[in-house]
């Protein structure tokens, strides 16, 4: 069973794609990735968090996060970087279900849901980016195709780290297993199981709420068996995996805002609101996170991604460099 699932994963991640990409400020990737990897180069897939770095005039601090859950705008990249090294040493393939994130541990697994059409897919994060216009994630060509925004270039999305699968993936990467074997291991619940089950990779019937937080789950060494040989793959195998990893949620209308600050002190939020009135309609939204109440100061809503980009630029120019685009 494990052999079959490994084969299915490999086939699914190698599905072909079409068309081209919106390449916004990916010059940084060219610097970071270096030259195109030689033909036949073996994938590395090393585990990496990395030190703080600067790109496009902004500092980023990578960190391990297994409870990451954010909304924002996704973009995609492909042709220009196909065959080049990713930030953790893999060879980027635009036709695989991968993504770039500025701070998450590499590799990790995220469920990305298009909030406009409900399409949802599990992506492997193996690169750094995006670094332009406050995008929350940069998807591969194939991922953007699956999520249904290949033509638009951007989409409103929710990005959620798969906790246990990402921990298994990280442990396998630390032990030097190649990427596709890492993937097979990440979705294997226990070494005793006669079959392979997909855990949190399979979403619920509707767009889920924020994941519950808790103590990190240790990964037992027995949960990571030796790599298995790849067997034959049938169309039924691929269809079975697609039902597990790709879903379509019923969606509700969402709006785009620029969030300028978040405070536990309501007076500080009110003071910031007064300063921002010249930039547009400003409201304070309350949210409880980890038992604490936050007052989020937001400008908007705005009509679309282009309007959000323009508003974000004005907000940053007005002296608020930490402002970001969010979807709610």
Q: What is the pLDDT of residue 188?
A: 64
Q: What is the pLDDT of residue 117?
A: 93
- Ordered DSSP codes for 236-299: HHHHHHHHHH-EE-------EEEEEEEESSHHHHHHHHHHHGGGS-EEEEEEEETTEEEEEEEE
**Whether 3 contacts 232, CB under 8 Å:** no
Phi, psi of 273 (to 5 degrees): -55, -45
Q: Facing residues of 256 across strands?
A: 302, 327
What is the rounded CA–CA span in Å between residue 165 and residue 202?
A: 11
Residue 289 exposure: Cα atoms within 13 Å on the Cβ side:
14
Phi, psi of 208 (to 5 degrees): -75, 160
Q: What is the pLDDT of residue 10?
A: 39
Phi, psi of 109 (to 5 degrees): -115, 130
Fold of the domain built from segment(s) 16-39+46-161? Barwin-like endoglucanases (2.40.40)
Q: What percent of the chain has pLDDT over 70?
A: 69
Q: What is the pLDDT of residue 176?
A: 86
Q: What is the pTM of this model?
A: 0.75
Fold of the domain built from segment(s) 256-327? Alpha-Beta Plaits (3.30.70)
Segment 63-110, tens digit of pLDDT? 999 999 999 999 998 778 888 999 998 998 998 889 999 999 999 999
Q: Which residues of the chain have pLDDT under 50?
A: 1-35, 37, 39-41, 189-235, 237-238
Q: What is the pLDDT of residue 81?
A: 87
Burial of 307 (0-12, 13-18, 19+ CB in 10 A): middle
228's CB contacts (< 8 A; 6+ apart) are 2, 3, 6, 181, 184
The residue assigned the tokens 């849901």 is 113
317's CB contacts (< 8 A; 6+ apart) are none
**Whether 147 contacts 112, CB under 8 Å:** yes
Residue spans of the domains in the chain: they are 16-39+46-161, 163-248, 256-327
Kindly list the strands in the beta sheet with 256-263, ordered across the sheet, starting from the edge strand earlier in the chain. Answer: 282-289, 292-302, 256-263, 324-327
Q: What is the pLDDT of residue 214?
A: 36
Q: What is the pLDDT of residue 69?
A: 95
**Whether 158 contacts 69, CB under 8 Å:** yes
């Amino acid at each position: 069973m494990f052999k079959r699932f490994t084969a299915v994963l490999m086939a699914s991640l190698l599905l072909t794609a079409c068309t081209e990409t919106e390449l916004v400020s990916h010059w940084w990737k060219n610097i970071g990735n270096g030259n195109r990897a030689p033909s036949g180069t073996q994938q590395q897939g090393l585990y990496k968090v990395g030190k703080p770095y600067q790109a496009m005039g902004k500092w980023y601090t990578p960190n391990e996060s297994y409870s990451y859950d954010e909304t924002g705008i996704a973009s995609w990249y492909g042709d220009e970087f196909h065959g080049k090294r990713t930030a953790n040493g893999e060879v980027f393939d635009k036709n695989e279900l991968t993504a770039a994130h500025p701070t998450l541990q590499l590799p990790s697994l995220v469920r990305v849901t298009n909030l406009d059409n409900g399409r949802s897919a599990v992506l492997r994060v193996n690169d750094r980016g995006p670094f332009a216009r406050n995008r929350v994630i940069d998807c591969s060509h194939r991922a953007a195709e699956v999520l249904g925004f290949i033509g638009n270039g951007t989409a409103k999305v929710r990005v959620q780290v798969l906790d246990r699968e990402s921990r298994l993936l990280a442990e396998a990467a630390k032990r030097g297993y190649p990427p596709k074997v890492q993937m097979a291991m990440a979705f294997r619940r226990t070494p005793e199981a006669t079959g392979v089950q997909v855990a949190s990779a399979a979403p619920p019937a509707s767009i889920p709420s924020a994941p519950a937080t808790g103590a990190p789950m240790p990964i037992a060494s027995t949960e990571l068996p030796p790599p298995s040989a790849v067997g034959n793959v049938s169309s039924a195998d691929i269809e079975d995996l697609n039902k597990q990893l790709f879903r379509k949620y019923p969606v509700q209308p969402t709006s785009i805002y620029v969030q300028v600050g978040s405070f536990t002190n309501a007076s500080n939020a009110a003071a910031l609101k007064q300063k921002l009135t010249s930039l547009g309609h400003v409201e304070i939204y309350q949210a409880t996170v980890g038992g604490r109440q936050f007052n989020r100061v937001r400008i908007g809503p705005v009509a679309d991604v282009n309007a959000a980009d323009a508003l974000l630029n004005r907000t940053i120019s007005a002296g608020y460099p930490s402002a970001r685009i969010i979807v709610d």
